[in-house]
Amino acid sequence: MIMAYAVTINDLTKRFGRFTAVDRISLNVEKGEIFGFLGANGAGKTTAIRMLCGLLIPTSGGGTVAGLDIYKESEMIKRSIGYMSQKFSLYGDLTGRENLTFYGSVYRMNNGEIKKRIDELSEYLSLDKFIDRPCGSLPLGWRQRLGLATALIHRPKILFLDEPTGGVDPVFRRRFWEILYRLADRGTTLFVTTHYMDEAEFCRRISIMHRGKIIEAGVPERLVQKYEQPDLQELFIKLITESEANAKNI
């Protein structure tokens, strides 16, 4: 039986001059899966996700997103996925409703569709109390929830989230992940970059990235057992330390 993947990556590479930001990474993400792209800041996670979203052209290698080629069909990829960047583009002088209306129009939804979808997202994400307030006046956590709503406005089947909970408190991060679980239960594929170990534990599978390379991948609990570590954080430290030591010996 051939598995239909939401995302495939084959030897994907991105260089900026002499600097290699992403170095021949390969992996597959199944439909409906929560996949965690784990690594410290500067590991290459954001560069990789931007290539998958059609925002950067790879130097070499390839891949598909929703069956679309990241080289040849990048514009179609942009229209078919949801993407929430580290610094998502909410217009601060517009209300949440106005932002959502604008993004709905970008995806060529008609006014009736946009209004219905805003009502659905407002209820689903509990936006009622702040959706009609200017986004620039909202706390970071609520802006992030609105950012998620803009990524979902057109009902994408694949959602890319680049450090979606950076800068918010642990309680809000937990609530945000509860929302993500509900999305996955409804069949949405989630590709999440993070450097928080507790978030990585929420993922069905993870890959650990360091200096542009994927140094390990698998189910979090099984990886912890494989390397005989007490938890994911200790596993992460062990793998990064060993990778650094090996690099020095080359």
Q: 6 near 82, Cβ under 8 Å?
A: no
Asked whether the predicted pLDDT for residue 1 surpasses 50, the reply is no
Nearest to 90 by CA among 19, 52, 42, 146: 146
Would you identify the CATH topology of the domain 5-249?
A: Rossmann fold (3.40.50)
Which two three-digit tokens encode residue 163? 């450090």
Asked whether the predicted pLDDT for residue 88 surpasses 80, the reply is no
The region of weakest confidence among 10-24, 30-44, 168-182, 213-227 is 168-182
Mean pLDDT score of the chain: 91
In tens, the pLDDT along 132-163 reads 999 999 988 888 889 999 999 999 999 999 88
DSSP 136: G
Q: Which residues contact 22 (CB under 8 A, 6 or more apart)?
A: 12, 13, 14, 44, 47, 48, 51, 58, 212
Which two three-digit tokens encode residue 85? 């960047």
Which two three-digit tokens encode residue 197? 């170990």
Share of the chain above pLDDT 70, in %: 98
